[in-house]
Amino acid sequence: MSRLVIDIAHMLAGSLVLISFMMLYQDRLFALINIFALHAVVLTLSVTWQAYIQHAPHLYVTAAIALVFKAIIIPVALHRIIQRLGIHRDIETAVGIGLTMLAGMALVALSIVLMLRVTSDADPIAREDLAFALSVILLGLLVMVTRRNAVSQVIGFMSLENGLVLAATGAKGMPLVVEISVAFSILIAFIVVGVFLFRIRERFDTVDVAALDEYRGERQ
C-alpha cells in the first residue's frame, strides 16, 4: 500500500474529526445542519476511498446511501422542519464554547491514545482510522451533551452514527445486508423523531429540553 494511498485515507478520516470539531464551534442551528451535511459528504468520500483501496464494491453502495440520505435528504428535511417549527436559530450551549472545545480536545487525545495502544498489532491503516472513528463518536456524544435544543441533539446522534460507519468501513468486511438494515433503522428513527418533534411542539410550544424537564417536575 503506497504512502499516498494511506495518507489520503488518514486525511479523509482526520477531516471528519475536524468537521466534528467545527460542529462543536457552531452556535447557530442553520450552520450546524450545513456542517452536518458536509460531515456526511466527507464520510461518503472516505467510504468511497476505502471501497477503492479494499476492492470491496459493496462499500460503494454504502457510500451512495450515506450521500443520498445523510448529505441530501436529512439536511434538507431538517431545514424544512426548523422553518416550520420556527425554532429560534440560536443554539444555547449548556457550557461555553471554549470549555467545550477543550473537552473535545481531551476526548480526541483519549481516543487516539487508547485505540493506538489497544490495537498495537493490527494493520496500520485500520488502527489510525479506528482511532479517528472513536474520536468522531465521542465528539458526537459531546455535541449531544452540550446542547439544549432537541434538533441539535439529533444531529449529534447522526454524527455519532457517521463515526460508527467510518469504524465499520475501516475494519474490513461489512456486508451490505447490515448496511441496508442500518439505513432503514435510521429512516425509521428519523420519522419517529420528526413526529415526536411535531407533537412536542404542538403540546408545549417549544422543543427546548429544559422546558421539558420543568414539565416533568425534574427542575423547578
User: Which residues of this protein are in contact with another protein, per CB under 8 A?
Assistant: 3-4, 6-8, 10-11, 13-15, 17-18, 21, 25, 96-99, 101-102, 104-105, 108-109, 112-113, 116-117, 124, 128
> Smallest gap, in angstroms, from Cβ of residue 118 to another protein?
11
> Smallest gap, in angstroms, from Cβ of residue 4 to another protein?
7
CB 154 within 8 Å of CB 193: yes
Return the number of other C-beta atoms located less than 10 Å from residue 58's C-beta.
14
- Output 109 or 195, the one with its CB closest to another protein: 109
- Output 128 or 179, the one with its CB closest to another protein: 128
Which residues lie across from 185 on neighbouring strands?
A: none
Give Cα separations from 41 to 24, 27, 36, 44, 102 (angstroms): 18, 21, 9, 5, 26
What does the CA dihedral 124, 117, 178, 13 come to, rounded to 10 degrees? -60
Who contacts 47 (Cβ-Cβ below 8 Å, separation ≥6)? 59, 62, 63, 66, 165, 166, 169
> Smallest gap, in angstroms, from Cβ of residue 89 to another protein?
16
Reduced to 3 states (helix: H, G, I; strand: E, B; else coil), residue 147 is strand
DSSP category for residue 86: T
- Output 137 or 200, the one with its CB closest to another protein: 137
- Output 152 or 179, the one with its CB closest to another protein: 152
> Smallest gap, in angstroms, from Cβ of residue 62 to another protein?
23
- Output 35 or 154, the one with its CB closest to another protein: 35
CA distance 146 to 191: 24
> Smallest gap, in angstroms, from Cβ of residue 40 to another protein?
20
- Output 90 or 213, the one with its CB closest to another protein: 90
> Smallest gap, in angstroms, from Cβ of residue 101 to another protein?
5
Residue 109 corresponds to which cell in the numbers above? Answer: 487525545
Residue 211 corresponds to which cell in the numbers above? Answer: 422546558
